Amino acid sequence: MNPESHEWATSLPALHDQAWKRLRRGVADRRAAGRHPTLVTVDAEGGPQARTVVLRAADRKEATLRIYTDRHSDKVGEVQANPVAGLHFWDSAAHLQIRLQGDVTVFSGDSVRAVWEELSDHARDCYGRDPAPGNVLDEALDYRKWSDLAAFAVMELTIQWMDILHLGRHHRRARFERSDGWAGQWVVP
């Protein structure tokens, strides 16, 4: 698509709308670019840790996003120690990069039972490993997997800011913050 036809990139509210549209599409459509963001956390040494995840929920009213993970994975320990994370999206069809940062809450146990019950058997198989994720193995397949609600966690990011970059003939970049009601501010790309 011709980026010059992206009329929505020329106004702050329309750009913000478009970003949320792409996030919601990522939740609904497994082939959408918004499906597979990169989640970034800070590890115990203060270093960045980036990995691909699946976007599971996007609530514009609350400005929250959700991903599912194994409660015993390193990322959960990282956000429990330092409850902040970034997400990065590149939607090439929209010529749109979305970077955002949020405070993280991890839900597990009974509080995620209803979500767990909605998952397919195949999806549940991603949660439950012995030994736990990240442990060293002698052989690649020396681990057991089964579906275990006790290993399932939902990470919720309460977005504090979003940085949105549109690449067109004229590049445009804007920063949107919770603290000003997401009014948005153009910045130099």
Ligand X SMILES: Cc1cc2nc3c(=O)[nH]c(=O)nc-3n(C[C@H](O)[C@H](O)[C@H](O)COP(=O)(O)O)c2cc1C
Q: Which helix (H) or strand (E) holds 98?
A: strand 96-108
> Which residues are CB-neighbours of 177 under 8 A, at least 6 positions away?
160, 161, 183, 185
Total of chain residues touching ligand X, rule CB under 6 A = 15
The span from the CA of 10 to the CA of 22, in Å, is 17
CB of 88 to ligand X, least distance (A): 13
* Cβ nearer to ligand X, comparing 51 with 113: 51
- For 152, list phi and psi in degrees, rounded to 5: -95, 135
Q: Is 134 in the site for ligand X (CB under 6 A)?
A: yes
Longest Cα–Cα distance of the chain, Å, equals 55
- Taking CB under 6 A as the criterion, the residue among 21, 36, 175, 178 binding ligand X is 36
Cβ atoms of residues 94 and 22 within 8 Å: yes
* Contact between 53 and ligand X per CB under 6 A: yes
Q: 126 or 167, CB closer to ligand X? A: 126
Q: In this complex, which beta carbon is closest to ligand X, that of residue 131 or of residue 134? A: 134
Q: Measured from the CB of residue 153, what is the shortest distance to ligand X in angstroms?
A: 9
Residue 166 contacts residue 16 (beta carbons within 8 Å):
no
Q: Which is nearer to ligand X, 106 or 164 (CB)?
A: 106
Contact positions vs ligand X (CB under 6 A): 36, 49, 51-54, 67-70, 73-75, 133-134
